[in-house]
Amino acid sequence: MNEQPAACRIQVEALGAGFEPLARQWAERLSLPLQIDEPEFALQVGEQGLQLQQLGADAPGPVRVDFVEGGAAHRRLYGGGSGQMIAKAVGVAQGVRPRVLDATAGLGKDGFVLATLGCEMSLIERQPLIGALLEDGLARAALDAEVAPIVARMHLLKGNSIELMRNWEGEPPQVIYLDPMFPHREKSALVKKEMRLFRPLVGDDNDAPALLAAALALASHRVVVKRPRKAPCIDGPKPSHGLEGKSSRYDIYPKKALKA
């Protein structure tokens, strides 16, 4: 996602007097005002943590990161384990739990699935507002006895994904996972409220080819790119093969076999 938010009017709100100090802290960290005229979005701080709320008559509900309850909990308990397509795509197998860099982390849903399966995850989300939601969600999840061991395998990095990959220090990730924002069609991409919310803030990932190139240069074993099922491949080297589901597919760029 783009590093800087699009030209949107965003303010930070405390959902109660007790949350005003924390709201001020987030406002300072993100260089956002606490109050503006005619805001389009509000980054809200309350009992359920940090959430992003689009404002207006027909706006969807707030978006927050929750690894403890809701969809994340259901998938953790009933999601199919290592038989899930994303697990097969990154190379999870008997005795194999690769170290994965999710360079387009978003709200961390895919990263959480892989961490649940035992993968050590590094996460990069370069859009500061989305990164703040993810940071807050990880912090709250770390307080839950069941989920804390999972999120302990998720390490959030801050900065531009391409630059961080190009200047990577230490042992490279075995697998790099990319899910770049795809230029949308009204019928498909605006269904989920997250997409409705994120589109005006982050736009499309027009530098996806550079993202792929940086990933291919860094990953030691493979790169995996998630795409809409009928979308073209990212410009650049072609994947050797892919896994296709009902609405999405995983393009796989192997470099070396993953072994137990």
Order of strands across the sheet that contains 41-46: 10-14, 41-46, 49-54
Q: What is the pLDDT of residue 7?
A: 54
pLDDT (average), residues 78-102: 90
Q: Is 24 annotated as a binding residue?
A: no
Q: Rounded to two decimals, what is the model's pTM? A: 0.90
Q: What is the pLDDT of residue 64?
A: 93
Closest CA to 189 of 234, 133, 247, 134: 247
pLDDT digits (tens, 9 = 90+) for 218-251: 999 999 999 998 999 999 999 999 999 898 999 9
Give the three-state DSSP class for 115: helix
pLDDT (average), residues 137-160: 95
Q: What is the pLDDT of residue 3?
A: 46
Structure tokens at 243: 């896994």
Res 189 pLDDT > 70: no
**What DSSP assignment string belongs to 218-251?**
H-SSEEEEEEETTSPPPSSSPPSEEEE-SSEEEE
Average pLDDT of the chain?
A: 88
Q: Are 100 and 122 in contact (CB under 8 A)?
A: yes
Grade residue 188 by pLDDT with cuts at 50, 70 and 90: very low
Q: What is the pLDDT of residue 24?
A: 97
Q: Is 126 annotated as a binding residue?
A: yes
Q: The CATH number of 70-254 is which of 3.40.50.150, 3.40.630.70, 2.40.50.140, 3.60.20.30?
A: 3.40.50.150
pLDDT (average), residues 152-159: 95
**Between the CA of residue 142 and those of 135, 152, 159, what are the distances in Å?**
11, 7, 23
Rounded Cα gap, residues 144 and 166, in angstroms: 35
Q: Where are the domains of the chain?
A: 10-54, 70-254
pLDDT (average), residues 58-64: 88
Q: Is 235 annotated as a binding residue?
A: no
Burial 46-81 (b: 16+ CB within 10 A, else e): beebbbbbbeeeeeeebbbbbbbeeebbeebeebee
Res 176 pLDDT > 50: yes
Rounded Cα gap, residues 54 and 204, in angstroms: 19
Q: What is the pLDDT of residue 187?
A: 44
